[in-house]
Structure 1
Amino acid sequence: MSAPLPRSARLLDELGLARATPASLMARWADAADDTQALGGRVTAILGAGPHGPVSADLAADGPHLLVEGPPGSGRTELLRAVVASLAAAERPDRLAVVLVDGRGVPTPDATPGEGLRVCTDVPHVTTHLSAHDPVRMREFAQSLSAELKRRAELVGRSDFAEWHTGRELSDRMVAQRTAAASREDRNGDLDSPPSSTLRLRPGADRRRAEPAPPLPWLVVVVDDLDALVSPALGSPGRPAAGSVMRALEAVARDGERLGVHLVAATGPCARTAQTEPVRQASLRVLLDAVVPGVAWTNRRRGGGGWSVRTGRRRCSRAGG
């Protein structure tokens, strides 16, 4: 089918917000908390405007990973910023964490706002921003990301992220019931009263209470200029450490879906990038064209079908079921 698309799109309009105020965002987060279909939280990103409303991608249902491809000047970074903002608007910070990686680095410490992904660091969900020009920080980042994957694997065990949260909800309810029962016992202090007239001390009630499972939020790793990490420029300060960062990102691409970790990456033309795990594992793709400003199309490959949207030329097409 085909239908006219709007000439421009404003993220707040697509989010249904007049203004991004604390009250409006907290209302959205409260709505997300009541969504029983989104175990552990929402990971929904707005990609643009369509003829019948916003075009969005659910990283959990449609992903696990999203790749944005396009030449310089096609708007890759701007789209990544919109993705970060829409992810943050969909879920509260304790249920969603975001990590930012600027593959080409930021030239100076006092870079102007809006350069790269640094502008997104004001979002409360952002825990880390890596600028790929400092070899020491790059290696530390790679180690930290690998350690987080290992921690999640130990927590989740043989299950996956959704199963773990299902079990956690059951565990929390059991803890709440035990806590209520223990509070009734505490009215008599720490003494047991057996049938005989002998009193004996009982172990402290707190030691018998089951501890709730630790929180495990969604984690989204957003990478701009993935191609610069795959093929760093000669003389780049981050060139020696780029390999360690890529190995950590490839681990996310391979194992992240089961562990609640998603990768959103943008890349320019690079033959070597196509051979990497972040590209191979990306089931959601956005292709940007710099020839006609604002032209983009999205392909979703899941369940034997897919759809594509083109903006700028005011055309929408759909294929498959």
Structure 2
Amino acid sequence: MIKANSSAPVFPKSAAGPTVPSNAAGGNRHAAGTKEGKAKRGSAQVMLTLVAQTAPALAQAGMIWYVVCQGRWILLLLLLPSLTGTLAMVLLSLLRMHRRSSSAPPAGAQSAYGTVSDRASLSTTTENETLQDLAKLASDPGPQLESRLLESGPSGSQGPPWQGIVHAWLAASGTSAPAVIGIRPDLGPLVIDLPRDGPHALVAGTTGSGKSVFLQTWCLALAASQPPDRLNLVLLDFKGGAGFGLLARLPHTVGCVTNLDLERAVRALNGLQRELERRQRLVARAGVEDTARMADPPARLVVVIDEFQALRQLLPDYLDRLTSLASQGRSLGMNLVACTQQTMGQVSAQMRANMNLGICLRVRDPLQSRELLGSSCATAIDPACPGLGFLEQGRGLQAFRTCPAADPQALVGQIIKASRFCGSRPPAPLFSPPLPEHDPACGQVLWQSGQPQVPLGHMDDGVLLHLYRLPLKGHTALIGPRGRGKSTLLALLARSLLTLMKPGARPEPGFDLRITRRTGHGYSSREFPGTVPSPPHGRQDGSRALIWILDDAQDLLDPLCQDPLAPLLQEALGQEAATVILAVDTASALRRPERFSRRLVFPCGERGADLAAGIPADQLATLPTRPSAIPGRCLVLEAGLAIPLQVFSLAVKQTNP
């Protein structure tokens, strides 16, 4: 929690103090001249307001006269409400000016802050105190972040920083996240407890004012005060990754993206929305209003965005995710820290209303400083002293100076060492990179209900990647033109099943395997009988189940095909105990697509053909620009879903059955 001074958060007086006019009469004449000038400006504003509001009324009255002369009564009904509203605005303005003139205090009258000259004196005193506060902070950079970690360690401890970090983690509270990030004018530490002082923060500052260093110091202080199982970080760096590249190594970081990879940034924002919904379900299931009241609450999630205005420009359609986080994140243990060069017009009113904590480093525009702090004091910061700034959280301004780490890379190493010492498990990533174009990884065959599930690649649900295992139950069709990876997928499947057919394999397969390929003179097949009968999955005659893999099967599906395998294929497609995995060039070659409960469609790049193959239009719009240029990229169409899949590439020499 931010520790406020006992006195009002204004800046110390200068040695000379405020200047007091020696001639009181001269000061009165100056005040009278100022009042007269203000009165003239006020009269001019009144006249301009009346002209601006009366002119539309005159124009509308003329249009009504013309409409009456022409006898167009329908247009008259449309114009009367507009004229009535304009006249109402004019009357309302006259009433407001009358109230202001009747309630204006007489010259020299006292107010809550004294006379006009008293308020001017108070403003001058505050400005002088502001300048002296800045001068004091500029002359004393304060202690470095590492020294704060040693102070938080055991009494008399002179060990390495990681020991102090472990001690801070053991003493951490689950409902707060204090972080020492700088010093105040009285040289005391500036402590920000985001859950209590925020819950969200808006940081502003021009280029070179020290925003990135401030954010880096804040994240390091949070990581040094909270263990990874209580606090996680999501870093969105839209200035090329220069600011958060080091922080990505922290054990607390569950996601780090930059503006150089917008596809991954979209996944991050979708992941935040999914996490928000997951926590809503957790709170509802626990029957509480806040995650802090849960018996086992999820780790606090702090989302830090550098250069928010760049995110807004590059991904305007995804800002609703951040707006939802700002409005609902407090009770769900999610906090937002948005940093930008320009706050005016960049942060929506709905998001700004939930950001109680305002931090402003040096800015050039007084309006920007007033919009965030209610004062233009941030324009007085010396450009030669980055890290100086002001904090406003509803209890008055407070000047501060950031105290960065002397060696951030070494400090990250100490935090990693503390995590290893405590045996902390790395948190699950909030999102993953997109599907790779080449995936050499491979998984093991999983047995479920006596049937093998063969790993074929990784699926992408839009946020995370999942290993996809093909269940060998029901028929599967691979649809796509030549050269897209269908044969590779079938070879991968055949190799996995042949491994199960080897003598001594456990568990032993209860099925027969048939592999059919096209040759120059038709089709050739090879049979691999199983070793154990499978009554539950076999036919009534006691024979084992059949798994049939066919490549280039479009000719065999033709009703006029004379190949001896054609009737056998039709028979297998009608049997419940058989599993057929075949590849065809087009969806029309299936003849009866309802017999295939699962289809893997390889996009060809032609929209009409891809739609005809079964790819939904909305899913087709989210695919890469040239999905047909990525071998092995397909979509799994099953149970009404269409999920992208990247098939494993064969890293070793294929088995030639």
Q: Shorter-chain TM-score: which interval?
A: 0.5 to 0.7
Matched letter for residue 393 of structure 2:
R
Distance 2:209 2:351 in 1: 20
Distance 1:137 1:165 in 2: 31
2:125 is aligned with 1:125 = no
| 1:77-130 Cα deviation digits (max 9, x unpaired) | 100000000111111000100100012334xxxxxxxx2211111221111001
Report the CA distance between 1:23 and its aligned residue: 2.0
2:178 is aligned with 1:53 = no
Report the CA distance between 1:310 and its aligned residue: 4.4
Distance 2:248 2:349 in 1: 27
- Alignment match, 1:300: 393
Q: Is the contact made by 1:221 and 1:263 (CA closer than 8 Å) also made in structure 2?
A: yes
Q: How many residues align?
A: 239
Q: Residues 70 and 20 from structure 1, CA distance in 2 versus in 1: closer, same or farther, beyond 3 angstroms?
A: farther
**SS of residue in 2 equivalent to 1:105:** coil
Distance 1:298 1:8 in 2: 17
Percent of matched pairs sharing the same residue: 28
- Alignment match, 2:320: 247
Q: Residues 14 and 285 from structure 1, CA distance in 2 versus in 1: closer, same or farther, beyond 3 angstroms?
A: farther
Please tell me whether Structure 1 or Structure 2 has the larger radius of gyration of its CA atoms: 2
Matched letter for residue 171 of structure 2:
D
Q: Is the contact made by 2:236 and 2:265 (CA closer than 8 Å) also made in structure 1?
A: no
Q: Residues 43 and 129 from structure 1, CA distance in 2 versus in 1: closer, same or farther, beyond 3 angstroms?
A: same
Report the CA distance between 1:244 and its aligned residue: 4.3
- Alignment match, 2:225: 90
Q: Point out where structure 2 has 5 or more consecutive residues left out of the alignment.
A: 1-6, 13-132, 153-157, 364-380, 403-657
Q: Residues 90 and 244 from structure 1, CA distance in 2 versus in 1: closer, same or farther, beyond 3 angstroms?
A: farther
Aligned positions of 1:134-283 closer than 5 A: 134-157=261-284, 159-161=288-290, 164-168=291-295, 213=296, 215-231=297-313, 239=314, 242-275=315-348, 277-283=350-356
- Alignment match, 1:8: 141
**SS of residue in 2 equivalent to 1:118:** coil
- Alignment match, 1:101: 236
Q: Residues 167 and 93 from structure 1, CA distance in 2 versus in 1: closer, same or farther, beyond 3 angstroms?
A: closer
| 1:115-155 Cα deviation digits (max 9, x unpaired) | 22111112211110011232321221121110000000111
Say what the alpha-carbon RMSD is for the aligned residues: 2.4
**SS of residue in 2 equivalent to 1:64:** coil
Q: Residues 78 and 19 from structure 1, CA distance in 2 versus in 1: closer, same or farther, beyond 3 angstroms?
A: farther
- TM, length-normalised to structure 2: 0.34
Matched letter for residue 130 of structure 1:
V
Report the CA distance between 1:311 and its aligned residue: 4.2
Report the CA distance between 1:222 and its aligned residue: 0.6
Q: RCO greater where, 1 or 2, for CA within 8 Å and sep 6 or more?
A: 1
Q: Point out where structure 1 has 5 or more consecutive residues left out of the alignment.
A: 33-37, 107-114, 169-212, 232-238, 313-321
Q: Residues 20 and 130 from structure 1, CA distance in 2 versus in 1: closer, same or farther, beyond 3 angstroms?
A: farther
Matched letter for residue 212 of structure 2:
T
Q: Residues 279 and 46 from structure 1, CA distance in 2 versus in 1: closer, same or farther, beyond 3 angstroms?
A: farther
- Alignment match, 1:309: 399
Distance 2:254 2:269 in 1: 14
Aligned positions of 1:13-92 closer than 5 A: 13-15=147-149, 16=151, 21-32=161-172, 38=173, 40-50=174-184, 51-92=186-227
Matched letter for residue 392 of structure 2:
N
Distance 1:277 1:19 in 2: 47
Matched letter for residue 220 of structure 1:
V
Q: Is the contact made by 1:41 and 1:91 (CA closer than 8 Å) also made in structure 2?
A: no
